[in-house]
Structure formats: structure tokens, C-alpha cells
Amino acid sequence: MVHRALAPSHRPHAPNRFGPEPVRRPHLCRCAGLRAPRSARPSHVRALRFIGLRLFGLSAAFAGSYWLLSAAYIGVRHSWIPPITPLLPGCYAFSRASAICVPLGASAAVALRRVRTLWQLWPLWRDLVNAVPDVSLAQTRQRSLALLQHSGPLDLRLYRTVIEIRDAILDLRAHIPHAILTEVRIRLEREGAPPAEEDARVTACWLRIPRRMKAEGTPPLRGDLTAPVLGGTDLPGEIEFLRKVAKADASPQIRRIAAHLSHSIEKH
């Protein structure tokens, strides 16, 4: 379900005489979100386990060296043993405490990254949810309140945010003419958009046009859904793509191009 929800290219809906149906899948978001923590575990778990075990082994080596040198000093009375032995318990305590803190530090780093990602995606999520309110499971709030609310684990909230953004994009495809998509790409190529950010900037630009058209009451277009659904092939790739889209959405250049194309559609 994760790969189906986040695939970069989706099979278009079959056309019907009533036009394309809007995508409304709040139950899918809930079901997919509940499975996200199992299928999106961090890839560095083995590395953290390796570091923790090595630190535990190092602490055991310090403790064994302390008792070995203490026992050896009873028999040999070397002068270099007494200055060394007091340092070994401190090294043992430091390595053991470090081993215990590895999972805590890793969890804190992951949590900070997720909070940062949620903070960056929130403006895009808010605008899309306001345009397509049926895809959201929660009401839009201020950015700080949205992060502080206790609505579940951070990984679940991030996964749900990605799914709701994706569902809103699928819904807005029915409100954008194919000719406008071509014009968007041509204009961005003239502006000299970086190749690595071209897809994200195109997506951010065309998303602004159907949001405005839908707010003005324009009905969905009939026929196939021709707007491309771009993105990553997995959850990290999708998150990175949406971060680029959110960054491009706040660009004055994207807003200017989208506003110009929206006015040209209204004139026709």
C-alpha cells in the first residue's frame, strides 16, 4: 500500500461521461499511515547497534584492564601501574554511558529531522488541504500549534501529511488543462530553472493554478487526467521531492508565472 500510494506515476482514471471523480481517500490515509512505522524504519539501525555494542565491549575492556592491573600490582609492584588504574574506571563509566545514550541521541536526531520536515511541508499541506478539504483527517491550524498538538507519533504524522498532499495533488489534476502544463514547463525553461529542481518547480507552479480555479468554482475538466504526478519512488524520496515543491511554491517567480497563466485562462 505504501508503494502504491507513493508511486511516481499513477495509472490515470478511466474517463466517464460525468468527468473524473475527485480523489477522496481519508480512510486510505488512515490505513496507510498506521502501517508506515513498520515499513519505513530507519536504515541506520544496524550501524547504531554496531556502535552501541562496540562501546559496551570497550567498557568491558576498561573494567577488565582495571582488575587485571590491580591484581598484577600485588605481585610485581611496578611504579607505572598506580597512575594508570584510577583512569580506567572513568573510561569505563564514560564508554558505558555513551553506549546507553546512543539510542537516545539517535532518536532525538530523527525526531528533530521529522519536526524540521513537518515545518517545511506545513505551508504546502495547508494550501492543498484548504483547496481539497476532503483529503485531510485534521483541521488546519497555525504552524506552531500543528507541531505541538498530540495527534500521534511524529513518523505517523509525517507519513499522513505526505499522503494527504499526494491525494490533494491527484484531485487537483482534474482542474488543469494540458496546454497550461506545457506552457508552465516552457516558461520555467526560459527562466533557467535548475535541472535537479525542474520537476518540483513545475509541480509547484501548476498546483497554484487549479487551486485558484477550484476556489472560483470552476468545474473539473472532462476526459483523461493528463497532469503528471511526479515524486520519489519511496517514502524518503517522496518527502525530499515535496520539500522541493514546498520551497518552490514560496518562490516569487513561481507565483508570478502561476498568476499570469491563471489570468490568461480567465480571459479565454
Please give the Cα distance from 56 to 78 (Å, whole number): 29
Query: Quick one: pLDDT at residue 23?
Result: 41
Q: Which amino acid is at 89?
A: P
CA-atom Rg of the chain in angstroms: 27
DSSP secondary structure letter of residue 153: -
When mean pLDDT is compared across 94-103, 183-192, 204-213, the lowest value belongs to 183-192
d(C-alpha 118, C-alpha 158), whole Å: 6
Name the residue with higher pLDDT: 218 or 208.
208
Which pLDDT does position 268 carry in this prediction? 57
For 7-40, letters b (16+ CB in 10 Å) and e give: beebeeeeeeeeebebbebeebbeebbeebeeeb
The more confidently predicted of residues 125 and 196 is: 125
pTM for the model: 0.65
pLDDT of residue 157: 86
Kindly give, in sequence order, each residue whose CB lies less than 8 Å from that of residue 153, ignoring residues fewer than 6 positions away.
Answer: 37
Query: Is residue 38's pLDDT more than 50?
Result: no
Separation between Cα atoms, residue 73 and residue 30, nearest integer Å: 66
The residue with greater pLDDT, 147 or 230, is 230
Using CA atoms, how far apart are residues 211 and 207, in angstroms rounded to an integer? 6
| Alpha carbon 58 to its chain's center | 36
What's residue 37's pLDDT? 42
Distance CA 227, CA 118 (A): 26
Sign of the CA dihedral 43, 48, 54, 57?
negative
The model's confidence at residue 134, banded by pLDDT at 50, 70 and 90, is confident
| pLDDT (0 to 100) of residue 89 | 92
Higher-pLDDT residue of 19 and 254 is: 254
- Amino acid at position 185, single letter: R
Evaluate if residue 63 carries a pLDDT over 90: yes
Q: How confident is the model over 140-197, as pLDDT tens digits?
A: 566 656 666 656 688 888 888 999 999 888 888 877 777 777 788 888 888 776 777 8
